[in-house]
Amino acid sequence: MNTADVLKRTGIPREKLYYLEQKGYISPRKIYVGEKAFREFDEIDVRLIHWIWTYLKEGFRYRIAYEKALKKVEGKKRGDG
C-alpha cells in the first residue's frame, strides 16, 4: 500500500507518519523508480500505524503508543485478539 492510501485508511497526518518512520517504529519497504524512492506498506504496517495513531489521539506518548500498538498487532497475528 502506498503512502497516500495509508493516510486515507488510518487518518494519520503525513508528518506523524514520517515521524514514526524516523523513530524506527515502522519500516516501510522502499521502492526505487529511477532516483525517486516510494514507500510501500504491508498490512501489518498499516495495522500498527492505525493503533499507534489511535493511542496517540488518546494522549499516550509515542513510545507507549507504539508498545501498546505492537501488543495489539502481535495479538491479532496469533489470533489472541
Q: How many domains does the chain have?
A: 1
Mean pLDDT, the chain, whole residue set? 93
pLDDT bin (cut points 50, 70, 90) of residue 79 is low
Query: Does 75 score more than 90 pLDDT?
Result: no
C-alpha distances in Å from residue 74, one per residue of 48, 68, 77: 9, 10, 5
Q: How far apart are CA 68 and CA 36, in angstroms?
A: 34
Whether the CB-CB separation of 1 and 9 falls below 8 Å is answered with yes
Q: What is the mean pLDDT of residues 55-78?
A: 91
Query: Which amino acid belongs to residue 55?
Result: Y
Q: Give the domain CATH number at 50.
A: 1.10.1660.10
Expressed as residue numbers, the domain containing 44 is 3-78
To the question of pTM greater than 0.85 for the whole model, the response is yes
* pLDDT above 90: percentage of residues in the chain: 90
